[in-house]
Homo-oligomer: A and B are copies of this chain.
């Protein structure tokens, strides 16, 4: 594809940073980075050879593609201000949970570019393996997005807004909530002065296992075994951690309900 398409990254949070860097690596032409936070805009711009601004009035209108990577609320608020005077460009957002129709009436060509992954600025993920879900207003816009996505990832799909929302919700469970179970373990181990590292082989195997066995069949542990003796002990150990205990009870109960 023509990599001289002029791209503006609107947002310099975790997703915006990782996506802009991945595009830059593939020699795409990022002309400007916008972020409300000047430091974030500057920091990302430095890394991708772009200019930067924290002021909407300085947002260039000389770009072909604007990619927004903002919190959902901010996106909805900003759309009218962003697009005004820049209606000729292609506008895409990167949010799993926002329908494509938010662009309707504000941009002539638009779409969604949703890379389903957990992004942190401190970590460069292997974009090659990240599923990217696309949606667009027209075949032409879709083709352009598909070509761009295809240079970054080997897993490019088309998904409508409803599918994307369910993917995003499923991702909250498999990623955000799974990570929270790790965080709870971290807290527990710290209490007993044990390093979190010892958990890594187990975490890895738990993730690897569902490559070959569906999670419903891969479930192990005291709840699914109905091992009441162990569970009683765990409850006692969590007696001074009411929130963890609450999660323990709910997850265990739900594992048992799902088995039935």
Residues of chain A at the chain B interface (Cβ within 8 Å): 14, 71-73, 76, 97, 116-120, 122-123, 125, 129-131, 155, 157, 162-163, 165-189, 191-192, 194, 196, 198-216, 218-225, 227-230, 233-234, 237-238, 243, 246-248, 250-251, 254-255, 257-258
Determine the distance from Cα of A10 to Cα of B185 in the docked complex, in whole angstroms. Answer: 30
User: CB distance B199 to A237 under 8 Å?
Assistant: no
A181 CB contact (under 8 Å) in B181, B192, B257: B181
User: CB distance A73 to B227 under 8 Å?
Assistant: yes
User: CB distance B170 to A14 under 8 Å?
Assistant: no
A71 CB contact (under 8 Å) in B167, B185, B225: B225
9 more CB-based (< 8 A) A-B contacts, given A116-B202, A175-B202: A76-B229, A118-B202, A120-B220, A131-B201, A163-B192, A176-B219, A177-B251, A179-B218, A182-B215
A170 CB contact (under 8 Å) in B76, B199, B222: B199
List of B residues within 8 angstroms of A117 by Cβ: 201-202, 205
Q: How far is the CB of A218 from chain B (nearest CB, A)?
A: 6
List of B residues within 8 angstroms of A191 by Cβ: 166
User: CB distance B237 to A179 under 8 Å?
Assistant: no
8 nearest A-B pairs in the assembled complex, by CB-CB distance = A176-B221, A182-B215, A170-B185, A183-B215, A207-B207, A166-B192, A178-B178, A72-B229
Q: How far is the CB of A155 from chain B (nearest CB, A)?
A: 7
A-B pairs with beta carbons under 8 Å apart, 10 shown: A122-B212, A171-B202, A174-B185, A178-B181, A182-B215, A184-B254, A196-B210, A203-B210, A206-B207, A207-B207
List of B residues within 8 angstroms of A129 by Cβ: 201, 204
Determine the distance from Cα of A97 to Cα of B81 in the docked complex, in whole angstroms. Answer: 59
